[in-house]
Amino acid sequence: MIKAWEPMTPKLILVATDMSERSDRALARASQLARQTGAALHILHVVDEELPATIAEAEIASAKVNLNQLTSVGRGLRGLEARLEVVPGDPWRTIVQKANLVDADLIVLGTHRRRGLSGMFEGTTIERVARTSARPVLRVMAPALEAYREVLVAVDFSECARGAARLAFALAPTAAVTLVHAYHIPYKGLTVHIGPEGDMSKAEKDEIESGLSKQIATFLREVDATGRDVRSFLAEGTPDHVLRQQIAARNADLLCLGLHSRSWLQDSILGSTAWEMLADCPCDLLLAPLERR
């Protein structure tokens, strides 16, 4: 049975690190969220099981020393409940399996390493974890200098979008939240009047967006947004284009996508919008999946 993952304030956050600067940012954000929510941290480093035995043993020993230094040096971990673990395995499979084993409420990862324009993202650990995990995944790009301030939630009125909104509320309790809906008009040239610059008339635009605004209002009631600073934005266009515009316009520091909606995920394969945003989202990205049982 597949159902929407039920958002809640996290009690345990699993953060995977490869000891790089990208992972340092992920650890800093995970620590900030743990301090904010009272969650415990599980800090995981996976040593590639394909390495020769002597090299793997040396890397495991070195990683344990480096991880133990995290608690002594600080790095924002002071006062937090944190477990450190180094294990051999296939990185993405081990992250997903460990998250299930410890019952993590959130997986936090650093951004992927750039690979050039052709196939710069295909097959990365983040993509594989996002495709297979039944738990939310936070991909961290920016330094965690403060709590999230400006959050966008992509909305297509699905149950997964509602889960994404609730998760955004839980992880960013003081942030301003904007619900973004990108709409498409089938056979636009035949169904609405198009002006010389390709725009529809204001009256037709207002009529379309009036109906969508009512759906947004219903959506807000369903996600229990009472007392939150929540705005909405409607625009014609492709979801990835509209989302990128709004990230830039609002200087958003977190985008939240629900997986398995019409636009984001079908049959456990990342759809085009989620793929594009996961590959090159200009801010932190939170993916709220369906739960598989």
Query: What integer is the mean pLDDT of 241-259?
Result: 93
Residue 263: pLDDT band with limits 50, 70, 90: very low
Distance CA(152)–CA(166), nearest Å, equals: 12
* Stronger pLDDT, 243 or 198, i.e. the higher one: 243
- The residue with greater pLDDT, 280 or 51, is 280
DSSP codes of every residue in 146-178: SS--EEEEE--SSHHHHHHHHHHHHH-TTSEEE
User: What percent of the chain has a predicted confidence (pLDDT) above 90?
Assistant: 37
User: Is residue 280 a contact partner of residue 249, using CB atoms and an 8 Å limit?
Assistant: no
SS3 state of residue 88: strand
Question: Tokens 């939170």 label which residue?
Answer: 286
Summary mean pLDDT of the chain: 80
Instruction: Give helix 125-132 / helix 272-280 axis angle, nearest 10°.
Output: 140
- As a whole number, mean pLDDT of residues 276-286 equals 86
Higher pLDDT pick, 206 / 135: 135
pLDDT at 75: 56
Binned at pLDDT 50, 70 and 90, residue 59 comes out as confident
Q: How confident is the model at residue 6 (pLDDT cuts 50, 70, 90)?
A: low
Greater pLDDT, 55 or 179: 179
Q: What is the mean pLDDT of residues 176-181?
A: 94
SS3 (DSSP) at 73: helix
Tens digits of per-residue pLDDT, 85-133? 888 888 899 999 999 999 999 999 988 654 443 333 345 788 888 888 8
What is the reported pLDDT for 116?
40
Q: Are 254 and 152 in contact (CB under 8 A)?
A: yes
CATH number of 2-292: 3.40.50.12370
Residue with the two structure tokens 């344990």: 64
The structure tokens listed for 61 are 């020993």
What is the structure's pLDDT at 74? 52
Instruction: Return the pLDDT at 262.
Output: 43
Q: Which two tokens stand for residue 13?
A: 């956050």
Give the per-residue pLDDT at 224: 84
The answer to whether 120 and 279 have CB atoms below 8 angstroms apart is yes
pLDDT of residue 120: 37
> Band of the pLDDT at 180, cuts 50, 70, 90?
very high
Which ranges constitute the DSSP H helices of the chain?
A: 21-37, 53-73, 91-102, 125-132, 159-171, 188-191, 202-222, 239-250, 272-280
Residue ranges per structural domain of the chain: 2-292
